Structures are given as C-alpha cells and as structure tokens.
Chains A and B, each alone.
Chain A
Amino acid sequence: MSPASRSPDPPDTGRRNLIDQLTADAIASDYAWPDPEGAVASSSTRARRQRLVVVASSLALAGFLLALGLASRIDNEPAMIEQRTALRERVVTAGERQVELAADVAKLREKVDKARDAALEISLLGVRLANQIQDLELSTGYAAATGPGVTVTMADAPEKGDDVDLELTKVLDTDLQVAVNGLWQAGAEAVAINGQRLSARTAIRSAAGAILVNYRPLAPPYVIEAIGGPSLLGDFQQTDDAKSLKDVSRQFGIAFSAGESRRLELPAASGRLPDTAQVVTNEPPDVDNSVEPGSAKKGDRR
C-alpha cells in the first residue's frame, strides 16, 4: 500500500475516520513532499557521504535516547530499593528504641513499687493497702504475673489449594477474642497473647491483615497464656467459646490446642493507664472499703 495512491486528494482527509487518517498520514506528513534538492545533491559523492554521516549521527542520537530511556528505568530500581531499606531501618531503630524505653518504664515502675512498699510497710493500714494494691495490679495487668495455668495455641490452616477462601483459613481477631473470653469465663486471672498482657484497655482487633493486641501486630502462631486455678483447663473446655473454636478448627483446618502449663510468666501490660477516669470517692478511704483506696492510690501514682 502506498500512501500516495490511497489518498490522492488531501480534502478527502476530513471525511475519513481517525485511524484511517493516521494510517494514511503516517508517512505522508514526513515524506509526502520529498524535496527535490536531496535528489539533485545525491549526484555528488562527497555530498552523499556527508549526508550519510548526518543520518548516521541522527540515528546515533535516536539510539542514545532509547538507551537513556531504558537505563533510567533500570536506574530507578536501586533508588527504590534504597528508599525501602532506609525506611525499614528507621522502623527497626524505632522498634529498638521502643523496647529500650519499655525496659526503662519497667525499671522505673519497679523503683516506684519499692518506694511505695517501703512507705506502706510502717503501718498496719499501709500493709493492708499494699495487699490490695497487689491484687489490683494482678487483675488490671499492671504487674507481671507468674503461676500455673493454661496455654492455648492457635495457628492458620496450612495452605492447600486456591479453592479455599484464604481469609477463612486464617485465625481472625474474633477467634482470639472468643478464646480469651472463654478463658476469662473459666476463671483466668491473667492473660497474655504472644507476650502481650491483656489489661482493661487492651483491644484485640485486626488491621491491614494483622491482629493487633495493645496496638502491636502479632504474628501467628498465636499463643494465649492464662494463669488460673487447677480447674482452668477443664472449665475452659466446657465453655461455649472453646466448643465453637473446636468447630471452627474442624471446619477450616485452623490449629487449635489447649494444654496445661505448670509455670507461666506473663509480663506487665504495656498499655496505658487510665488518664481521665477517676475513682468515685464519696467518703474518706477507710480500711473496710476494699476497692477504692487502692484504686485511688493507683490513680495518684500516675
């Protein structure tokens, strides 16, 4: 197909559709009016050679541009990797700093506890308050705890094929919630998931595909440790929560097992203490008032 034969008269252009026009004009626009000069000049060998060099250098420029475009694409990649590693480093250092600070907090808490105990030791009332504080610290997750208990382990189902819905074969935040509720119901006194102690302000929720506890993402397998009396395991397995988890495990292949542990060590909760909530005090604290004096003291210590 020669463009000259296809579009004999330019006025025709207006009626053709865009694609036809482009196809016909692809060369026409550049070479439709070949300059007579070029044909004439080509008779001289020297001029021809000169022109050939010009064409060659133009083509060299074209090749250079092409290579430049390719190289810049390739070059972008290391820069991106660099950025990513830099970001990762920042995340890691921030994480390390957080761990350091958490250790500092734990040390300072210990100091405060010792000072408080020393101050309370001197009177009978003080000793009783100290006992109450200890109890409350355990149940609120403020203090690290140790004792016998139950370990519940949950893990995602092994990936089989793509016919199974991936979301359903994973342990969900609601599964952990159910397990923890069952443990509380069975009489657990302190619970931690993968080393994250649960306190009154702990939420178990999922965000961006990860399960967050105390705002820290956890990786499977999920190990729930609960300190409680000798009947904790039996009671837990009697709860509806444990039964429904067994059903889920059977249906979706999620690993779910519970066993007794002789000695568990749960860390203190890393979550924050109440900032705004205050204990209601109607009367001056006295010895018989079981909860309020301790809580008031706790509030004061912030």
Chain B
Amino acid sequence: MIALVGLVLGIIIGLVFEPVIPLWLQPYLPIAVIAALDAVVGAARALLDGVFRDRIFVVSFLSNVVIAATIVWLGDLLGVGSQMSTGVVVVLTMRIFANAAAIRRHLLKA
C-alpha cells in the first residue's frame, strides 16, 4: 500500500514540478524510464510469485536504470547509440511482456 502511494507520489511530483532535464541527459531518459518500468513490473511479479525481496528490488531497480542508460551512452560514443537503445528497449520490453503475462496468470488465472 505504502509502495503504491510512493509510486503515485513520484508521478505527481514529476508532473507538478516538471524539472528541466539537462540536454545531455535527454537521450537516456526514455531508456531509464523503460528500465524503471521493467523493474517495477518485475517486482510486481516477484511479489505474486512470493519471491519478492525489497533489497533485490531496490538494487536491481537502480542498477538496471544506470546500466541501461550507460549502455546507450557507450553506444553513442561508439556511434551505434540508436541501435543500442533499440536493443535495450527490445530486451526490456520483452521482459516487461513476460512479467506482465505472469502477473496476468496470477491475477486472472488465464
């Protein structure tokens, strides 16, 4: 419950304050968002599977966001930034779908 309140609070803070994102960070923000989404969906599935551990969630959430952004940044330096971001998005999206499917099976038994 508190966790959900935190999520909603974060969204509200982001929308209300609308902080200016530095230009150099802008290409990596969407990737970070997808990584965060992946971590949240993964956590929800783990919770339903009964294997959720808060420590793992926090660490994996932070590290996944940083790693995803870093991979794209590295790709940008190598000149394959857009391909890298495509790759990261594909992998994370597939994970989100797989986890969402598991959640669906838990909740709807279908």
With the chains together, A68 CA to B21 CA distance in Å?
Answer: 8
B110 within 8 A of A: no
Contacts of B36 in A (CB 8 A): 61-62, 65-66
Check A56–B21 contact: CB distance below 8 A: no
CB distance from B31 to the nearest CB of A (A): 9
Which residues of the other chain, A, contact B37 by a CB distance below 8 angstroms? 62, 66
A64 in complex: contacting residue of B11, B57, B98, CB < 8 Å: B11
Task: Give min CB distance, B8 to chain A, whole Å.
Answer: 7
| A232, B30: Cα distance in complex, Å | 68
Q: B95 to A26, Cβ gap below 8 A?
A: yes
Q: Is B14 an interface residue (CB 8 A)?
A: yes
Q: How many A-B residue pairs have CB under 8 A?
A: 147
Q: Which of B34-58 contact A (CB under 8 A)?
A: 36-37, 39-40, 42-43, 45-46, 49, 51-58
* From B3, B54, B95, contact of A22 by CB (8 A): B95
Q: Would A69 and B49 be within 8 Å (CB), given that A54-B58, A55-B54, A56-B3 are in contact? A: no
Query: Closest residue of chain A to B65, judged by CB?
Result: A65
Give the size range of B's interface with the partner.
Answer: 35 or more
Contact B95–A62 (Cβ < 8 Å): no
Partner of A63, one of B9, B21, B65: B9
Chain B 51-73 per-residue mask, 1 if CB under 8 angstroms from chain A, else 0: 11111111011100100000000
| Cβ–Cβ < 8 Å partners of B78 in chain A | none
**Known contacts A61-B10, A62-B10; A34 and B30 CB within 8 A of each other:** no
Q: Which residues of A contact B65 (CB under 8 A)?
A: 65
Interface centre among A27, A58, A60 (most CB of B within 10 A): A58
Checking B10, B43, B55 against A35 with a beta-carbon cut-off of 8 angstroms, the contacting residue is B55
Set of chain A residues within 8 Å of B108, measured between Cβ atoms: none
Contact (A30, B40) CB under 8 Å given A64-B11, A66-B14, A71-B15: no
Question: Which chain B residues in 56-107 approach chain A with CB under 8 Å?
Answer: 56-58, 60-62, 65, 91, 94-95, 98-99, 102, 105
Q: B26–A72 contact, CB under 8 A? A: yes
Other contacts beyond A30-B56, A56-B3, A58-B58: 13, CB < 8 A: A27-B49, A30-B46, A35-B56, A51-B55, A55-B57, A56-B2, A56-B5, A56-B6, A56-B7, A58-B62, A63-B9, A63-B10, A65-B14
Question: Which residue numbers of A lie inside 8 Å of B, CB to CB?
Answer: 1-2, 19, 22-23, 26-27, 30-31, 34-35, 37-39, 51-72, 75
Can you list 23 A-B pairs with a CB-CB distance of less than 8 A? Answer: A1-B102, A19-B94, A22-B94, A23-B98, A26-B94, A27-B46, A27-B51, A31-B46, A31-B49, A31-B51, A51-B54, A51-B55, A55-B3, A56-B2, A58-B6, A59-B3, A59-B6, A59-B7, A61-B36, A62-B40, A64-B13, A66-B33, A75-B18
